[in-house]
Amino acid sequence: MSTYEATSPPEGATCQSDHCRSAAVVRLIIPRPRLTADGLHTHADAITTWDNCDLHWPGFRDVCVRSGHTVLDRTGDLRELASASPEWAIFASDGGRLYASRRLNGHGTTVDAYLVGPLRAQMQAVDADVRD
Ligand SMILES: [Zn+2]
């Protein structure tokens, strides 16, 4: 079992699922233990990445998790974000989508993302609007 790391893909990255080519929202970093000549695993530099759009990511993530792998969000920690943002209600769906909502002038505003970093950026954009 391995830990796969999820992070934001570089600008312009596209989904690697078959025939998709949509804009990628999550890059998964997958360590590839290599077999050496004597049959021992090494955890050297063999790493592969897989970019996912918002349509393909939930299914791909689900397959990884059901295969026993841990998917670690490298862009931030959800509990840390929640405790640093008491005015926001933050929760995650079963599919791994993250939501943050707060009330502004009596109206609810909700932003969502698949990674903590982009979620935080959207929350900060809303907070900046409030201060204007
Ligand atoms: Zn896709």
Between residues 114 and 2, the one the model is more confident about: 114
C-alpha 90 to ligand 1 mean position (Å):
26
Which residues form the domain of 10?
A: 3-73
> Quick one: pLDDT at residue 65?
92
- pTM here is 0.84
C-alpha 15 to ligand 1 mean position (Å):
5
> Quick one: pLDDT at residue 96?
87
Residues 52 and 94 in one domain: no
| Residue 11 confidence (pLDDT) above 70 | yes
Residues 96 and 65 in one domain: no
Token digits of residue 6: 């999820």
C-alpha 27 to ligand 1 mean position (Å):
12
According to DSSP, the β-strands at 70-73 and 47-52 are: unpaired
Are the C-beta atoms of residues 38 and 55 closer than 8 Å to each other? no
**Cα gap 28→43, rounded to integer Å:** 17
| 55: nearest Cα among 30, 76, 78, 26 | 26
Residues 68 and 84 in one domain: no
Q: What percent of the chain has pLDDT over 70?
A: 88
C-alpha 127 to ligand 1 mean position (Å):
31
